[in-house]
Structure 1
Amino acid sequence: MRKVTMSADIINPEHVDVIIVGAGLSGIGAAYRLQEQCPGKTYAILEARSAVGGTWDLFRYPGIRSDSDMYTLSFPFRPWTNPRSIADGEHIRTYIQEAADEFGIARHIRFGHRVLSASWSSEAALWTVTSRVGDETIVQTASFVYLCSGYYSYDTGYQPEFPGVDSFDGQVVHPQFWPEDLDYAGKKVVVIGSGATAVTLIPSMADDVEHITMLQRSPTYITSLPAEDKVADLMRRVLPANVAHRAIRRKNAIVTIGFYQFCRRFPRAAAKLLLGRARRQLPEGADMVHFTPRYKPWDQRLCIVPDGDLFRVIRDGKASIVTDTIKELTPSGIALDSGQHLDADIVVTATGLQIVAFGQLKIEVDGERVVPRDVHVYKGLMFSGIPNFAWCVGYTNASWTLRADLSSQYVCRFINHLDANGHAFGMPDPKGAAGQARPILDLTSGYVTRVADLLPRQGAASPWTIRQNWLLDSYDMKRTDLDQEMVFTSRSQVSVPA
């Protein structure tokens, strides 16, 4: 690898062409695409944890599973062969590790590297990336930085302040930091929340606890899907593995996008369909107020329950749902504003994630601090005025990997475009999008709205928008004009140290 002398106190840091931050699904997928499409480029993956997997290594709560089908969440270049379409976290972690090993990606991963900052120099056409490794500070340089660490904090989840929490005699647990030794057998458990984590925890714990209650401030649309895809099973039996995987992936993506479009165009009909499906799986006479959201379908993500497991434990009387607001925690449970009291030995605060911009990295361009809310997203992954930089963000209405893989392929095309045209670097127009800007994420979920003003913005027209449509994006991203509203600097205009 080429060594670059930066200053007297930073002598010859390691240099690679591309630094990828994060060794989860996105990071491993990005590395594969770099090896495939930019075979002459060197790269390193900086991972804060001690293992690959990202989200799937971090979350260890009971029942942790995908909230998208695995044929679209898995890599397009490595078939998903497990019969379960909705898979548990352990199988997903294993799949990611096997992909990293199979394609020689694992040797490029630097574990224990918590990236703190990235500073760009236009004069040298280089990023200087600073990481914390134990008690040491490590500095590396790269020509391109690609953030594949997602958009929520690994250090903290969203934890509202509940009055009286110090008086509670039981345990309070956040799913993001699930204790390995938590004993909930025979206990009364209350799970606060109504999102994907809550609807996963309830059926996973119900058979072991005395009773488990999902306490929600407002309902979420919940729908059941088969844990195993029978059509996919048939395709795998009659087609070669790679062909079957591509066909299943496209089939499932089309179905997901089609249903999303149906929900957005015909929200009343979609709500009627979703509520009807839920009603048929609930006990006769169940109060549908607990399953009828105040918002339109896909204003927030749908919650998927494989084989209707949540509805099953409610029918069996092992679990219940209460819609109310919290007055305070008491020594023996939770007092609600309605006057009801929920007895609890364990309270699980499935209250959401903490969204962060750029993985909480401090980013500077030529000595100026980048304020995330002041930049505009370009083609869903680059940002106005930030050279040779991309952030991998998945779809909100479909599986993460569908967009992540398109973004990684675009990054490779962009890097090759720089080389082919003698450019040292390029960046989206620093002026950004014209007209009124709007949030980068198009959901009304609390975890999004709480930080909407802190995130980058998007405009009203291409290329300054994020389109939530994989079919259109998969066509456009491979054919898009790489020069559109971009500013390039040639190699002759920079002084790269020997």
Structure 2
Amino acid sequence: MEHVDVLIIGAGLSGVGAAAQVRERLPKKTVAVFESRDSKGGTWDLFRYPGIRSDSDMFTFGYTWRPWQSDIALADGPLIREYIDTVADEYDVNRLIRYRHRITRADWDSEQARWTVTASVGDPAAGETVTLTASFLWSCAGYYQYEQGFQPTWPGMADFAGEIVHPQHWPEDLDYAGKRVVVVGSGATAVTLVPAMLTGEGAAEHVTMLQRTPTYVINRGRHDPVARLLTKLRLPDRVVYRAARWANILQAVGFYKFSMRWPARAKALIRKGAVSQLPPGFAVDEHFAPPYNPWEQRLCFVPNNDLFKSLSSGDASVVTDTIESFTPDGLRLASGRELPADLVITATGFQMQLPFGGIEFHIDGEPLDLPSRLAYKALMLSDVPNFFFTLGYTNASWTLKADLVIDYVCRLLAHLDQHGYRTAVPVPDAAVQRRPLMLLSSGYIQRSAHLLPSEGDRAPWRLDQNYLVDRRVIQRAKIDDGVLRFT
């Protein structure tokens, strides 16, 4: 039976970065990457809707060890996919990836100090499987289902004469030129789609963003001012990247802490920004004043005010209401209003997958109850040996956290080799109190919160969604901290 030292699940941004750094920093380790799809890139390969882009700045969304070589702050999907491809080429990751390999079961054997992993290969209906062993298992599978987005059902959908599309499965040949489009939703996907569908020769006639609840929307310049200034001064790329990266980190952490401490002031500041970009008399409080505080859900960043410009021009509109039913010609709302539509885009969010891709875990023959476990530094699970996972930030760039996890895992593996250990497992004391691992009130998280492990009420079982603090807790704290047990 084949054996690898490190088996990584997922070939998206996190998985490619993990494989690249294990190869770079621990060249004697054998590595394999199992990817359930037939291509790498994860989110940035899957989503192909118009305008797809990052809502985090690329100076923190890029890896700390591989500079983003542009002054573009909010990059579009193809640029991000190209960045991931470049890293995979430069670090020779491509040969490690095995496509259409979906792990279904993982069994830990304490005596052998290894995982036995079973994966389906190709079409699951064909029943072909492969089995191998791994000393360490590392989930970089993300948190939502690639197969299906969250698609509510409404009365009358079958009667609608137009087309209904979910952005997660955007048809390549979708023609919306000259059509009346309704985008259902108010998150990052919706605020991206509205201006994007009004651009170019194939533009829609009119796009309406229909939202049940408003979202905080903040303008962000497409180009980073720090990077642009330092590039003009002809400073080296690494200096530009590092300076722009830290400027963005400090700005993000500062605004998050400001919002947590003074939510009313943060609300007022965001509202002021929206008012300044919208026409006089626009119903800002109806459409851009959520009933929750900033960062209880993710904020939406728009480049160069593109959403506000579309609304100001009259080519787009926003309606805050709920759907009563579809009709042959559009949507009937709870208020009694009728919205005509030729095309409805249901930007209604993700469907969270079962934790770690729904793998069936067993520890020494006993099924693993994931909700009963505590997350150690939000990267390992209590009483689960030699298992790591990458889960990015909810209030900042995903990759900031991914990089911290990568650094920690590489340091831990080196520590085990140095001291002749084979296993590492975090063991909590009885005094640790539990709380939800992800505190956002977003629907896609609340629908699956009961499936997730918990975090504790103190470090290292609790992280504060603060990169500056986490650098100390994850990156700088010693490996042998009295919580990890080694054998």
Count of aligned pairs between the two proteins: 477
Q: CA deviation at 1:368?
A: 1.7
Q: Deviations over 1:356-383 (max 9, x none)?
A: 3112222221122222211110011000
How much does 1:132 deviate? Answer: 1.6
Q: 3-state DSSP class of the match of 1:49?
A: coil
The correspondence of residues 186-265 of structure 1 with structure 2, limited to 5 A, is 186-207=178-199, 208-237=203-232, 238-265=234-261
- Residues 122 and 336 from structure 1, CA distance in 2 versus in 1: closer, same or farther, beyond 3 angstroms? same
Letter of the structure 1 residue corresponding to residue 208 of structure 2: T
Question: Displacement, 1:489?
Answer: 5.1
Counterparts of 2:206 and 2:294 in 1: how far apart (Å)? 30
Distance 2:430 2:96 in 1: 36
Say which SS state the counterpart of residue 137 (structure 2) adopts.
strand
Matched, 1:146 2:138: yes
Q: Does 1:460 align with 2:457?
A: yes
1:476 shift after superposition: 2.7
Q: What secondary structure is seen at the aligned counterpart in 2 of 1:153?
A: coil
| Structure 1 pair 336–54 and aligned structure 2 pair: CA distance change class (3 A) | same
Report which stretch shifted further, 176-185 or 29-38. Answer: 29-38
Q: 1:155 aligns with which of 147, 150, 162?
A: 147
- Distance 1:391-1:433 versus aligned 2 partners, 3 A rule: farther
Question: 1:376, 1:432 within 8 Å by CA — same for their partners in 2?
Answer: no
Once residues 371 and 241 of structure 1 are traced to their aligned partners in structure 2, the CA distance between those partners, rounded to angstroms, is 47
Deviation at 1:30, TM superposition (A): 0.8
- Tell which deviates more after alignment, 255-264 or 367-376: 367-376
> SS state of the match for residue 404, structure 2?
helix
Deviates more, 1:416-425 or 1:441-450: 416-425
Q: Report the secondary structure of 2:273's partner residue.
A: helix
Task: Report the alpha carbon displacement of residue 487 of structure 1 after superposing the two structures with TM.
Answer: 5.2
| Secondary structure at the counterpart of residue 28 of structure 1 | helix
Q: Secondary structure at the match of 1:156?
A: coil
In the alignment, which residue of structure 2 is the partner of 1:267? 263
Secondary structure at 2:146 match in 1: strand
Q: SS where residue 152 of structure 1 aligns?
A: coil
- State how far apart, in whole Å, the 1-side matches of 2:288 and 2:8 are: 41
Structure 1 residues 47-446: aligned runs within 5 Å: 47-134=35-122, 135=126, 136-207=128-199, 208-237=203-232, 238-288=234-284, 289-356=286-353, 357-429=355-427, 434-446=431-443
Q: In 2, distance between residues paired with 1:433 and 1:112? A: 41
**Secondary structure of 1:280's aligned partner:** helix
CA distance in 1, matches of 2:218, 2:389: 31
Query: Which of 460, 466, 470 is residue 469 of structure 1 equivalent to?
Result: 466
Q: Which amino acid aligns with 2:403?
A: D
Q: SS of the counterpart of 2:107? A: strand
What is the alpha-carbon distance in structure 1 between the residues aligned to residue 477 and residue 399 of structure 2?
20
Q: Tell me: CA distance 1:281–1:464, structure 2 relative to 1, closer, same or farther (3 Å).
A: same
Moved more, 135-144 or 293-302: 135-144
Q: Which runs of 5+ in 1 are unaligned?
A: 1-11, 491-498
Label 1:323 to 1:252 Cα distance change in 2 as closer, same or farther (>3 A).
same
- How far apart in 2 are the matches of 1:263 and 1:61? 31
What is the CA distance between 1:403 and its match in structure 2?
A: 0.5
Structure 1 residue 232: deviation in Å?
A: 0.7
Q: Compared with structure 1, are the counterparts of its residues 488 and 459 closer, same or farther at alpha carbon in structure 2 (3 Å cutoff)?
A: closer
Q: Which moved more, 1:46-55 or 1:374-383?
A: 46-55
- Give 2:393's aligned amino acid: Y
TM-superposed CA distance for 1:484, in Å, is: 3.1
Say if 1:194 and 1:219, in contact at 8 Å, map to a contact too. yes
- Secondary structure of the 2:164 match is strand
Per the TM alignment, residue 432 of structure 1 is displaced from its structure 2 partner at its CA by 6.4
Identity of aligned residues (%): 51
8 Å contact 2:460–2:473 — kept in the other structure? no
Q: Which amino acid aligns with 1:228?
A: H
Q: 1:42 aligned to 30, 48, 51, which one?
A: 30
Using the TM superposition, give the Cα deviation of residue 464 of structure 1 relative to its aligned residue in structure 2, in angstroms.
0.8
Letter in 2 for 1:101: D
CA distance in 2 between partners of 1:443 and 1:464 (Å): 18
SS at match of 1:424: coil
Question: 1:22 aligned to 10, 35, 39, which one?
Answer: 10
Q: 1:340 to 1:485 in 2, by over 3 A?
A: farther
Query: Could you state the TM-score of these two structures normalised by the residue count of structure 2?
Result: 0.95
1:46: Cα distance to partner? 1.0
Do 2:432 and 2:458's aligned partners in 1 also have CA atoms closer than 8 Å? no
The SS at the match of 2:71 is coil
Tell me if structure 2 keeps the 8 A contact 1:375–1:456: yes
Q: How many angstroms apart in 1 are the aligned matches of 2:371 and 2:390?
A: 17
8 Å CA contact 1:376–1:433 kept in 2: the answer is no
Specify every segment of 5 or more residues in structure 2 that has no aligned partner in the other structure, as ranges: none
Q: Deviations over 1:50-86 (max 9, x none)?
A: 2221110011111000010001001112221233210
TM-score, normalization: structure 1? 0.93
Are the counterparts in 2 of residues 364 and 370 from structure 1 also a CA contact under 8 Å? yes
Distance in 2, matches of 1:24 and 1:369, equals 28
Alpha-carbon separation, structure 2, partners of 1:242 and 1:24: 24
Q: Which moved more, 1:86-95 or 1:43-52?
A: 43-52
- C-alpha separation between the residues in 2 aligned to 1:285 and 1:489? 65
Once the two structures are TM-superposed, the CA of residue 243 in structure 1 deviates from its matched residue by 2.1
**CA contact 1:375–1:432 (8 Å) conserved in 2:** no
The 1:336/1:120 distance shift into structure 2, 3 A limit, reads same
